[in-house]
Amino acid sequence: MSSKRKLILPTDEEEAAINRGIAADPDTYEVPAEDFAKMKRLGVRGRPKLQNPKISLTVRYDADVVDAFKATGDGWQTRMNDALREWLSQRRA
């Protein structure tokens, strides 16, 4: 699948102006290559592993059920998960 968007790269002059701005910014800190290499080796990338990771699956629900949860706004999937967990807790022996 290809995007119809065209990538526009800065010209050499624009790139130079950007780099001058970065160099002039007192809050900018460039990490030395040795330190950067150490950071990459630590493997600190992405989110930390969850103790109880979620499982991705495909499931079918009635449209009205999904619509009702979606209508509650962002976080609807978490609320759906919580509702299922509550249902299970009431039925466990």
In sequence order, what DSSP letters do the residues of 25-89 get, joined into one string? -TT--PPPHHHHHHHHHTT--SSPPPSS----------HHHHHHHHTT-TTHHHHHHHHHHHHHH
Say what the pLDDT of residue 43 is: 55
Q: How many domains does the chain have?
A: 1
Per-residue pLDDT band for 77 (boundaries 50, 70, 90) equals very high
Specify if 80 maps to a domain. no
Domain extent, residue 35, equals 12-41
pLDDT in tens, 61-72: 999 999 999 999
Specify if 61 maps to a domain. no
Specify if 26 maps to a domain. yes
Specify if 20 maps to a domain. yes
Specify if 19 maps to a domain. yes
pTM, full prediction:
0.47
